[in-house]
């Protein structure tokens, strides 16, 4: 079903799957490091009588499957776990998470925005019931996304967020954004074609970036698992640096310290990993993409290392 983006898809999935299953339970399970378009819907669900468990993550940024198994009960109607985290890039074990959710009759929703087009995602083999994605995170146009809704085994009923015409079987009425959808389709075709080669190129560049930062800067900590991670993501914390001064001084490198939507606050994801506010703010997220070159990676490492060294000398924290 086409939507305006993953924010809408996440809202539709969580609101819809809970509303239609009210008679079966009153509980939703999610994770502390989810995107705000999941967490904020969960907050709203709580004001409407739902209980929400927000699982913590371990030092690697991953959900503990034992803790998940303990959290899910016969009162749980929905489990929502993102496939890949947008800040630290860690990849959750979706097939195992699906097994646990389904053991208790709960549905599994996954925000697969960051994984789609970057690593192989298969809603069938991973047994995901509802999956949200958005075109612009895989080089498509902004303002168009989709929600995968399983139609068979089980057939999932949702309720619409808006009401009107019969488009998308009445679940998402309104005239479809045809140019956006065509662009989304074209972007998916290109991503599918290039995925394998691009993933290995980006992994090599990402590892090169990390190695060259480690060569130049002491006290660098990688946030989240390196082994279970998107190829194009690197997120590192620098001890003893004023984070705001660091970001401001990096005029030649496009980096952020958290999600693009909530800049300037310490990241809830890094806090969930156990980082202090100061360290969370002194963290940089590097996103490597289709047009990132080796020369750019080397230049980024040089600029960042120089900035960290200069700030540490000027104003030791
Ligand atoms: C960007 C993003 C979203 C929101 O997508 P929109 O297109 O802005 O609605 C949701 N989840 C994740 C993980 C994202 O990275």
Q: What is the CATH number of the domain that holds 80?
A: 3.40.640.10
CB-based contact 139:191 (threshold 8 Å): yes
- The answer to whether residues 113 and 12 belong to one domain is yes
Ligand 1 mutation target, pool 2, 3, 6, 262, most atoms within 8 A of CB:
6
Cα(194)–Cα(186) distance, rounded to whole angstroms? 13
pLDDT tens string, the chain, 317 residues long: the values are: 999 999 999 999 999 999 999 999 999 999 999 999 999 999 999 999 999 999 999 999 999 999 999 999 999 999 999 999 999 999 999 999 999 999 999 999 999 999 999 999 999 999 999 999 999 999 999 999 999 999 988 899 999 999 998 899 889 999 999 999 999 999 999 999 999 999 999 999 999 999 999 999 999 999 999 999 999 999 999 989 988 889 889 988 998 876 655 556 889 999 999 998 888 888 999 999 999 999 999 999 999 999 999 999 987 66
pLDDT of residue 127: 97
DSSP SS3 for 195: helix
Domain shared by 151 and 284, yes or no: no
Question: Could you tell me if 178 and 207 lie in one domain?
Answer: no
Residues 150 and 52 in one domain: yes
Same domain, 143 and 28: yes
| Number of domains making up the chain | 2
Q: CA 282, CA 48: separation in Å to the nearest integer?
A: 37
Q: Does residue 217 share a domain with residue 175?
A: no
User: What pLDDT, on the 0 to 100 scale, is given for residue 266?
Assistant: 87
Q: Say what the pLDDT of residue 315 is.
A: 73
Among residues 134, 165, 184, which one ends one of the domains? 184
Domain finish residue from 144, 162, 184:
184
Domain co-membership, 164 together with 219: no
The answer to whether position 189 is within a domain reads no
Q: Which of 80, 96, 90 is nearest to 39 (CA)?
A: 80
Task: Quote the CA–CA distance of 199 and 8 in Å, as a whole number.
Answer: 28
pTM, entire model:
0.95
Angle at 287 between CA 285 and CA 293, to 5 degrees: 130
- The span from the CA of 271 to the CA of 276, in Å, is 6
d(CA 185, CA 179): 10
What pLDDT shows up at residue 105? 95
Q: Give a yes or no: residue 13 inside a domain.
A: yes
Edge-to-edge strands, sheet with 107-111: 2-3, 145-149, 130-134, 107-111, 76-80, 27-31, 51-55
Q: Which structural domain, as residue segments, surrounds residue 31?
A: 2-184
Structure confidence at residue 36 (pLDDT): 96
Interval between CA 7 and ligand 1 midpoint (Å): 6
Cβ atoms within 10 Å of 133's Cβ, excluding its own: 27
**96 CA → ligand 1 middle, Å:** 24
Is 42 a residue of the active site?
no
Distance 186 CA to ligand 1 centre (A): 19
**Other CB atoms within 10 Å distance of the CB of residue 215:** 9
Is residue 48 in some structural domain?
yes
Among 157, 221, 248, 261, the active-site one is: 261
Residues 155 and 216 in one domain: no
- CA–centroid distance, residue 113 to ligand 1 (Å): 6
Torsion of CA 243, 246, 251, 256, to 10 degrees: -30
Same domain, 160 and 214: no
Q: Locate the ligand 1 atom nearest the alpha carbon of residue 137 and give its number.
A: 1
126 and 204, same domain (yes or no): no
Query: Domain for residue 169, yes or no?
Result: yes
- How many CB atoms are closer than 10 A to CB 78? 27
- Ligand 1 pocket, mutate which of 2, 14, 111, 113 (most atoms under 8 A from CB): 113
Q: Where does a domain end: 148, 165, 184?
A: 184
**Can you state the angle between helices 36-47 and 6-19, rounded to 10 degrees?**
30
**Whole-number pLDDT of residue 102:** 97
**Residue 176, domain member (yes or no):** yes
Phi, psi of 55 (to 5 degrees): -70, 145
**Within 10 A of 189 (CB to CB), how many other CB atoms are there?**
10
Does residue 144 sit in the same domain as residue 10?
A: yes
pLDDT at 183: 98
147 and 248 part of one domain: no
């Amino acid at each position: 079903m086409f939507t305006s983006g993953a924010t809408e898809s996440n809202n539709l999935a969580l609101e819809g799957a809970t509303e239609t299953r009210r008679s079966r339970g009153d509980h939703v399970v999610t994770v502390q490091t989810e995107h705000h378009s999941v967490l904020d819907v969960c907050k709203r669900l709580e004001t409407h009588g739902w209980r929400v468990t927000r699982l913590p993550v371990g030092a690697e940024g991953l959900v503990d499957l034992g803790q998940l198994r303990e959290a899910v009960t016969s009162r749980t109607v929905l489990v929502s776990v993102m496939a890949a985290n947008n800040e630290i890039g860690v990849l959750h074990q979706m097939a195992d998470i699906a097994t646990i959710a389904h053991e208790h009759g709960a549905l599994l929703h996954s925000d697969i925005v960051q994984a789609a087009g970057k690593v192989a995602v298969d809603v069938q083999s991973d047994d995901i019931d509802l999956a949200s994605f958005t075109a612009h995170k895989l080089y498509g146009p902004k303002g168009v996304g989709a929600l995968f809704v399983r139609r068979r085994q089980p057939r999932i009923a949702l309720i619409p967020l808006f009401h009107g015409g019969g488009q998308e079987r009445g679940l998402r009425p309104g005239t479809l954004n045809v140019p956006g959808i065509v662009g989304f389709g074209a972007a998916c075709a290109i991503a599918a074609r290039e995925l394998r080669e691009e993933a290995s190129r980006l992994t090599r560049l990402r590892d090169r970036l990390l190695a060259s930062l480690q060569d130049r800067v002491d006290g660098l900590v990688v946030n989240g698992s390196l082994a279970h991670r998107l190829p194009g993501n690197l997120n590192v914390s620098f001890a003893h640096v004023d984070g705001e001064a660091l970001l401001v001084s990096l005029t030649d490198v496009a980096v952020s310290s958290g999600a693009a939507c909530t800049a300037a606050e310490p990241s809830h994801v890094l806090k969930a990993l156990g980082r202090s506010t100061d360290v969370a703010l002194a963290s940089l997220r590097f996103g490597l993409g289709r047009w990132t070159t080796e020369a750019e990676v080397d230049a980024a490492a040089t600029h960042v290392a120089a900035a960290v060294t200069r700030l540490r000398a000027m104003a030791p924290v």
